[in-house]
Structure 1
Amino acid sequence: MPGRVPRPRRYRCGVKRPTTRGLIVVALAFAVLDVVLYLLGPKTTGWAGAAAHLTINLVVDASLCLLARYPVGVALLAVAGALTMLGSDLFAPGLLVPEDALTMRSAPTATPAIVANIGLLLDRRRALILTGMLMVLAARPWAPSWEITPTGLLNTALPLAIVLYLDARKQLVRSLRDRAERAEREQHLLAEQARAQERRRLAAEMHDVVTHRLSLIVLHAGALGVTTTDAAVRTAVEEIRLAGTQALDELRDLVGVLREGGAEPGAGARGAGSAAAADPAVLVAESRAVGIPVDLVTEGDPGSLSPTVTRTAYRVVQEALTNVRKHAPGARVRVGLRYGAEGVRIEVANTTSERPPDPVLAGRGSGAGLPGLRQRVELIGGSLAAGPVAGAGGYRLDAILPAYVPTAESKDQDDPGGRGR
């Protein structure tokens, strides 16, 4: 049969192909309608028999089952039926069409369903040609009549117009949605670009200003340690120098993260030493030394973490213990570190304080410790949650950090030979 449509084809407006079950239901509905009209209306009176008009309509109704696969063939069959009915009505009244028919006298009853579906299944040119043929036969423009012409137009031109309108409307909605999504993506890219520029600016400021000042402090402390003869001063100076060196390592590492892999050469070597020194057990020992009971529970091997993550974990524990010293004097603290292949989970929980906090010590904070720590954790792809413990009292901090952060430092640690390239 001509005009076969491939099975994977879809409606132009984006609606899926009609199922065979749905087409059978439509065909049965039109068949029932034709039978009811045959029983209630006048019959044909020619030699073809009383059911000639019903037979033509039932044949066209049955062809609806093949409409999705053969839209052109079904439409041409409807055109052939319309030509037969028109010829009978003009030249042999009552032979194939009753003289006072209750339906269109020169088009099958199922014509609206056929027109609507070919408007969806076929390209616009072929749909207009086939619909135009059915419209001319059904409306008879060469002999306009208030009884025939409006009915023919309503059953042919109107279904196609509705289908084309819905198709155009869906295409417009899809186009507007695509435009909105494209604008949203562009806005997101612009925001990402602005954030990247701001991060590069901050990295440059930190490298050019803060790192320079810290380097001067470390140099002056080293010089003072060499020239002084006082043991206490030498010890204090050495602590200042070590603290300044660690701060330089962390700044260089953070600059590398902000630049997204643009850390300066040699940062890997410095980071390794800093990572080795960033042991949370040191912080626990310091807190115990000032009278805070701290229990440390460690699970897993911390050696699988990159230096960036190791120092971030160190800062999380440091900030948590600092807050305990400030705001919960006398509280008991539990520090849990669980290392795994995917990263590390840090849990720091303290009980309620046994005495009021020192107003001078508690008032020295700026309130930006936890927000800044959360930003630092999120910067390397982790998460941090902190808040009071419901029911039991006290406070709890929970952080999850990845095992690896792709910065220049991490690359140097993974590929030591790459530093020479």
Structure 2
Amino acid sequence: MGIEIQQVVFFLHTITLRRLESYFEGKEFSFPDFKLSENLPISNFIKHYNLSKAEVVLFASALVPHLIPGFFDRIIEKFLPNGGDFPEFGGVKQDQHRGMIPTGETVLFILGGIEIQQRLNFISLFDENNPLFKHKILSLTAAKSGDPKLSGKLQLDPEYVEVFTTGKISLPSLSINFPAEHLQTEMTWDDLVLPDQVWNQIKDIQVWLKHKETLLSEFDLGRKIKPGYKALFYGPPGTGKTLTATLLGKYTQKNVFRIDLSMIVSKYIGETEKNLSSLFDKAEHKDWILFFDEADAIFGKRTGVRDAHDKYANQEVSYLLQRIESYNGLVIMASNFKNNIDTAFIRRFNSIVYFPAPKAEERLMIWEKTIPKQFTLEDEKLLKELAERYELTGSHILNIIQYISLSSLENKDYTVSREMMIKSIKREMEKEGK
């Protein structure tokens, strides 16, 4: 990793030095040779995106401030030892970072100098069709109103900075800037009790996750169908919607993020769209599964336009629909009631999965899978009796078993009586006012 980065930095140093020698001393400019080692992260990255020498300069210019803060400053000092204004080189200073941060103008000068035709030849590097910008690897900060576009700072996505400097990448954690929680579980498919119809629909989603790349590329359907998959999970609370989404990620080696809608929805006009845009930009091309729990809070039915608030609320829904349509991964929206979701979304779901409250035989399976093996039942028919008598969900049963387990540990008594079970069930029901 270190040797590879040194090669990239050396290449940028050489081409920058040659451009400054051409500008200040009239020497002839030429592109230096550039070759990387095989099968290393940066070389694989350059090959994957088929980057030209000019694009390597673009990428390296964004990376180098994270490695050598004074990289550009020291090269310029050789030609301006007493300082002085050098607007052709671009670059800006930050409040805390004391070195020069390159702008689009910096890269354009290194590649094209001050020759207008040469500069025009490289302007297209900053086009949105360039894969580095298209895939959000690089970005230019918005210039102030009236300023040239290329005066914006050239920035490398923090995740790419991390992977190129440390060799690994950390998943983002829940914050104001990233309103999503990474879901993980030690549970398995065997712990989940669902009707056969639901299992079949879940398997359909697994098949899509497994074969989507082949479907879109080799079968040439990428031009004709939407790139992602949208699923609606609906049904009573505690019936396995969140666990199913988490297990889909676990068994397909994909990260699952539950979106915290309370951190996304804003009362200020335009802020909700901004928050969602940031989230989707972060998730794009990462193959993450996005799980919107209680989705009807934001994906609910659009209202008639009675005032400005209704107008902007409907605009938020339209924007969400657009971003979800273009997302190239799996989006799962969960709701207690299907009728709460806007019909414009319903039509666009690839899959609608109903998670019913478990029936008596399913409740019995959940009881049997959940109760610890250390327990002895007072009556062998107790679990069957409870399954038939009490209409509980999987989350109810798990909470009840947890309460009984703690009581047993405290009392050092692992015999489960009917009285203890009924008391625990009533305690759980009282939490919901039942």
Choose between structure 1 and 2: higher helix proportion. Answer: 1
State the TM-score, normalizing by the size of structure 1: 0.21
TM-score, with structure 2 as normaliser: 0.21
Structure with greater Cα Rg: 1
For CA contacts below 8 A with separation 6 or more, give which structure has more relative contact order. Answer: 2
